[in-house]
Structure 1
Amino acid sequence: MDFEIRDRSVVQGRRRLTREREVYLALVGQGVGTAEACRIVGINIRTGRRWRNGRNPTGRNVGAAPITAVTAPSVRGRFLNEDERVYIADRHREQVTVRQIAVELDRDPATISRELRRNAHPVSGDYRPHAAQARAEARRSRPKISKIAANPALRQAVQDGLDLRWSPEQIVRRLRRDFPERPELHVTHETIYQALYVQGRGELRRELTKALRTGRAMRRPRRQTQQRTPRMATEMVMISERPAEIEDRAVPGHWEGDLIIGKDNRSAIGTLVERHTRYVMLVHLPAGRTADLVRDALTATIGRLPTHLRRSLTWDQGIEMSLHQQFTIATDTPVYFCDPHSPWQRGSNENTNGLLRQYFPKSTDLSVHDRDHLDTVAAELNGRPRKTLGWDTPAERFAKLLAETS
């Protein structure tokens, strides 16, 4: 037998046949049979089968040294390619963990786990990279008929749900609950959105989009975080950069602020809570809550305090504070911003806003309350004994601070 790759056919023991293995796998990938590829490379056919299919866990090779994996492919796209599948097979045979393989390929661990589960041999469960590539390509063939278009019963069920103004998620959850043994009626809510919005499909009547809560005839894509327009005209200082003295409430003069909103978002009242004493001040906003009006009202309210009692203000990322830098310049009070959707970072203020709703119910016009009424409500709240203050009132604690100043 003549060998085209190796000039000697003598046994080489446990030497790593790295180059031979690369050539062998390339030949197999080109469609060359196992026996012919082994002949060209100059290896035993059993070695070729082991390289292609992996070791038999119950056979004589169970104690053999693991085969060194080839270098991880550097080119990657949205889907796994054949080189990556060969690499996964190599490392999987060496019993490397899914997470380690994912790190080496710069892929999500779920991608590797799903690949080994979906594209393995349906009977033996062995993962063979070239067969896996063929299965993936067959599964990815386009165009495909939508599940909704192919199933009249499913299409009718979805249309009935939309006629009742159910959301797509409510529809799919109810179908799964009511028909657990009929997988042909199981879809995702994204499939319904695609059927409604993608032009030219026609699985669902286009006028059904009016039944959605948005009522849009066109789908509005979500913008990436880096593409969103910044809310603030100047850079925010986040709560993570707030000094440690503010966290433990030991030092007075640090405030939390927010707005409570009235009917149809047309009126608002500003709320300020001092973290050390829980003292409340209400900010009158009779003309609206635009950034300039909020800036002026906060400046007037905070400006009445002594310097040592206006050390900082913590606010959420509402657009009403977009002129925060001008407020800081006017009052010498730095503003710190909470993380998005994190109301617990202003816990005292959120608690106070809940108490204020007893005086200013939701869905009412807050512009009807004048300055005197706001002061009366604030005084009543500040006169309540508080367990966290040892049953002192916020007004008593705040009065002590003012007395120490004078």
Structure 2
Amino acid sequence: MDQGLSSREACERVGINLRTGKRWRNGRNASGKDKARPPILEPLPTAGPSRYLREADRVHIADRLREKASIRTIAAELGRSPSTISREIRRNGTALPGDGHRLAYRPHAAQARADTRRPRPKPRKIGQNPELRGFIQHHLDRKWSPEQICQALRDTFPERPEMHVVHETVYQALYVQGRGELRRELAGALRSGRARRKPHRQANCRQPRFATPMVMISERPAEVEDRAVPGHWEGDLILGKDNASAIGTLVERHTRYVMLLHLPNGRTAEHVRDALVETVQTLPAHLVRSLTWDQGSEMAAHGSFTVATGVPVYFCDPASPWQRGSNENTNGLLRQYFPKGTDLSVHTPEDLVHVAAELNGRPRKTLGWETPAERLHKLIAA
């Protein structure tokens, strides 16, 4: 019956009558001289976590299949993915005699099959196959990555599925204690050099990026977004060869006016903070209302910058460069003067002033063909 046969078909296959088969399956109570006998196989509990199909779900699937309902209709009725229903039928259905392409779905047999597969732990593929284990161990000794090894297995044994594993199976055999499928010292052959897997923290459990809490861009005043009020700046760094040198860039959102930060001694948080404080103090107070930056480590001292200047700093979301669109566009223009892969520390403060003056002297279509310098001078005069 676990193979999908009905009770009568199973009894005929074994060679017993239907009543005996029922007694074997269900056991019997004590009666007269007859002693009580338990079932041959104790039924496993059918109720599991909600993520699994229950017996009632399988009965519903069988009923709706007899009514010729589609897979998607059944999935919608059960609140499941269509792939869950099709996979259930494919795994636990029984091929019809004489037609191996058609499946009969019997819910109670399907539930018994699922309950039989559920217990853990299960024997692992690597632990059961010495040839597979030896192949993996040999290539780990040669410093191959698990993913390279798994691809080599498919290329070397294309017609032998028992020799095919995914790279996560290899990692599990190396990292999970107590399995003993691969020698523990082979974990040292991994490029990470770790003998234990390093878990990825959940987002809500991660340590704060900076000691001073970040104020995110979602909390930035609405006046910054529409560019109607001047004095809101965007900042970033452009990096030189091997990330060993850098230049800071500041762009005013209303006028697109550019200022460059000279960082001859490095781009640590303290160096960037000092350069920002020095630059901001050269501007009128009404033209420095806020600063928006990405979450780079160079802004770890943003709290002390705000204390020194009174300018709040807002941080963009991770991997969201469009939230500083003016600054990203300006950085692209600056690469005409500071190409990628060059040493940026050779440029003097005078060089940076000259480059910024050239950019601020270019007419901009978005400003009605005025230059950023002209627009800023009007604001200062007003």
Alpha carbons of structure 1 residues 178 and 296: separation in structure 2 relative to 1, 3 Å: same
Equivalent runs, 1:173-322 vs 2, <5 Å: 173=151, 175-176=153-154, 181-206=159-184, 208-262=186-240, 267-322=245-300
Alignment of 1:336-375 (within 5 A): 336-357=314-335, 359-360=337-338, 366-375=344-353
Q: Paired residue for 2:91, among 118, 132, 146?
A: 118
1:86 paired to 2:61: no
Q: Secondary structure at the match of 2:54?
A: helix
CA distance in 1, matches of 2:356, 2:138: 52
For residues 391 and 159 of structure 1, what CA distance do their matches in structure 2 show?
67
Instruction: Write the letter of the residue equivalent to 1:119.
Output: N
Q: Indicate yes or no: 2:67 matched with 1:98.
A: no
In the alignment, structure 2 segments of 5+ residues that lack a partner are 1-21, 28-45, 97-101
Give the conservation status (yes or no) of the 8 Å contact 1:98–1:113.
no
Segments of structure 1 that go 5 or more residues without pairing to the other structure are: 1-27, 34-72
- Tell me the SS of whatever aligns to 2:256: coil
| CA displacement, residues 91-115 of structure 1 (integer Å, 9 cap, x when unaligned) | 4346664255347xxxx88666644
Percent identity reads 65
Q: CA deviation at 1:85?
A: 0.8
- Give the CA RMSD over aligned residues: 3.9
Which amino acid in the other structure matches residue 318 of structure 2? P
Q: Is the 8 A contact 2:59 2:107 kept in 1?
A: no
Amino acid at match of 1:404: L
1:229 Cα offset (Å): 0.6
CA apart distance, 1:225? 1.5
Tell me the CA shift for residue 340 of structure 1.
1.4
Deviation at residue 243 of structure 1 after TM alignment: 4.1
**Would you say 1:400 and 2:375 are equivalent positions?**
yes
Indicate how the Cα distance of structure 1 residues 160 and 295 shifts in structure 2: closer, same or farther if over 3 A, else same: same
- Three-state SS of the structure 2 residue aligned to 1:398 is helix
Instruction: Give the counterpart letter for 2:214 in structure 1.
Output: M
Q: Distance in 2 between matches of 1:363 and 1:200?
A: 49
1: CA distance, partners of 2:308 / 2:198: 41
Name the CA shift for 1:276/1:137 in 2 (closer, same or farther; >3 Å).
same
- Tell me the matched-pair count: 327
**Could you say if the C-alpha distance between residues 303 and 162 of structure 1 is closer, same or farther in structure 2, counting changes exceeding 3 Å?**
farther
Q: CA deviation at 1:337?
A: 1.7
After superposition, give the CA deviation of every residue in 1:14-64 in whole Å (9 maximum; x if it has no partner): xxxxxxxxxxxxxx9xx659xxxxxxxxxxxxxxxxxxxxxxxxxxxxxxx
Counterpart CA distance in 1 for 2:250 and 2:116 is 62
